[in-house]
Amino acid sequence: MNNETCERLYNTYYMRVFSYIMTLAGDRHTAEEITQESFFRAFSRTASSFRNESDEVTWLCAIAKNCFLDEQRRRKKTEPIPEILPADDTNIEQEVTDRDSSFRIHTALHTMEEPYREVFELRVFGDLSFHQIGTIFGKTENWARVTYHRARLKLKERMDKHE
C-alpha cells in the first residue's frame, strides 16, 4: 500500500473508526490508542489482506475490533472512567438529567446479550450502516436490520421495567 493510499484512508476514515472503538472502549484515551494501532496494522501487516470484498471502512473497523479485543485480553480489567466536570455555562439540572438517563441506557445496554448490544452500539454510536454492520459480523444487511430492531425492543423493555 503506497503512502498516498494510506494517507487517504487515514484522513477519510479516522473519525469513523475512532467512533466505533469509542463505543466499544468507552474511554477516549483507549479509543485513540486502539485507533492508531488499527491503522498501523492496516498499513503494515494486513495491507495485503484487503481484497476489495467489502468497504474500506468495514475492513478498517474489523481490524479495529480485533485490536480492541487484543487490548481487552491484555488488560483483563476495565479502567475507571474519569468524571468530567460540567462547564460553567451549562445548566446543571439538565446535565444531571442527561447523565442519569445516559447512565440508565448504558446500564441497560451492558446487561444486553450479544450480538444485540454490539449491533445497537455500532448503529447508534458508531453511525455505521446496516450493510457495514452485517459485513463486520459476516452476515447480511437484513440480519443487521432485524438484530438492531430486536435490540431496540429489548432496550425499551428494560428501560420501561426500571422506571
Q: What is the pTM of this model?
A: 0.47
What are the structural domain ranges in the chain?
A: 1-77, 92-163
What CATH number does the domain located at 1-77 have? 1.10.1740.10
From residue 110, give the alpha-carbon distance in Å to each of 5, 94, 103, 142. Answer: 38, 24, 10, 24
- Quick one: pLDDT at residue 95? 53
Architecture of domain 92-163: Orthogonal Bundle (1.10)
Kindly state the helix (H) or strand (E) to which residue 97 belongs, with its residue range: helix 92-111
Q: How far apart are CA 90 and CA 42, in angstroms?
A: 41
Q: What is the predicted pLDDT for the residue at 97?
A: 55
For residues 103-129, b (16+ Cβ closer than 10 Å) or e, as one string?
eeeeebbeebeebbbbbbbbbbebebe
DSSP annotation of 47: G
Residues of the chain with pLDDT under 70: 1, 45-54, 76-101, 162-163
